[in-house]
Amino acid sequence: NAFCGKPLSMTGVERPKTIGPVAYAHKGCPIDKGFPFSSIQIESRNSKETHFHASTGKPGHLVVLEHEDEVLSHMVLVDTPDIDSVDAENRQITEDLYSLSDAVVFLASQEKYADEVPYKFLVRVMAARKPYFFILNKADQQLSQEDVLDTLQTQEHRFKKERIWLIPYSPSHPMEQIADDKGFRDFVLTLMRELRKEAMGDLLQIEVTERRTELKRRIGRLLDLLDQEERAADNWLAQLNALYEDVSSALIATEKERFSEQSVHYLRGE
């Protein structure tokens, strides 16, 4: 809301507040063209309709609020439900939309940003090398970026101070107060610089390269697993053949002995 300067998405302390994803896209943006998830229905609305009634989203839908702002014409901004939403459908929708994302604004509150599910998601974003912007909302004045880094840093995962912005708690008129906050303005400038229209071609090329590399890694892993499975199947077949030979030999020997005894007994009788 503060980024777009409009009350587009419903806010509040209750969970879940966003019951479905809300997108902000330029009028005529062909979001529904080739949209890969048939389980998500796309519903377009004029953003002016939400001026006094911010949207909470709609379960199973992607509510698209259309605008005519040329500055944001190359972006589709999406407010998703929480990655750890209590609703399984919302969690799946968030995962699906994340797979389509080119950049991620990771928004968390001070009391839950280090929880296991959000933390693991943030690590995934970093591993995918997507541009990310970490906003800690409703932060105490005593909290610093160093404090956040101390909480998040591990030997395996190194976060950068310049990717973290702290937004203080705003008891009233949060949209206006957040928009005027120095840290938030710095975040907006950074995002608009890194995701400017002229840079999108390079960004998408990097993403394609990353996905190609990841696809090759996964295909290599799949081929290794198939090779292991084939060797295991050959080994199991060899064991079955050995077992078959042992059982057959034992059966023939038993039957031969029984047949011999019966023949001797018959001949003696004759």
Tokens (6 digits) for 221: 């892993």
Which pLDDT does position 171 carry in this prediction?
78
pTM listed for this prediction: 0.74
Other beta carbons within 10 Å of 22: 26
Q: What are the strands of the beta sheet with 104-109, ordered from one edge?
A: 104-109, 132-139, 164-168
Which pLDDT does position 133 carry in this prediction?
94
Which pLDDT does position 14 carry in this prediction?
58
Q: Which burial class, exposed, middle or buried, applies to 76 when counting CB atoms under 10 A from its CB (0-12, 13-18, 19+)?
A: middle
Other beta carbons within 10 Å of 124: 13
Tell me the pLDDT tens digit for each residue of 158-202.
Answer: 888 889 999 888 877 788 889 899 999 999 999 999 999 999 889
Cα gap 84→77, rounded to integer Å:
20
Which pLDDT does position 217 carry in this prediction?
94
Cα gap 231→235, rounded to integer Å:
6
Nearest CA to 27 out of 52, 1, 46, 8 is that of 46
Angle at 212 between CA 208 and CA 105, to 5 degrees: 45
Which pLDDT does position 17 carry in this prediction?
64
Distance between terminal CA atoms of the chain?
108
Residue pair 90/20 in contact by the 8 Å Cβ criterion? yes
Angle at 258 between CA 254 and CA 261, to 5 degrees: 145
Q: Tell me whether strands 61-67 and 22-26 are parallel, antiparallel or unpaired.
A: parallel
Other beta carbons within 10 Å of 127: 11
Q: Can you give the pLDDT of all 270 residues of the chain as single tens digits?
A: 889 888 888 776 655 566 789 999 999 899 988 899 998 999 888 766 655 567 778 888 899 999 999 999 999 999 998 888 888 888 899 999 999 999 999 998 888 777 888 888 988 888 888 899 999 988 888 888 888 888 887 767 788 888 999 988 887 778 888 989 999 999 999 999 999 999 988 988 988 898 899 899 999 999 999 999 999 999 999 999 999 999 999 999 998 888 888 888 888 888
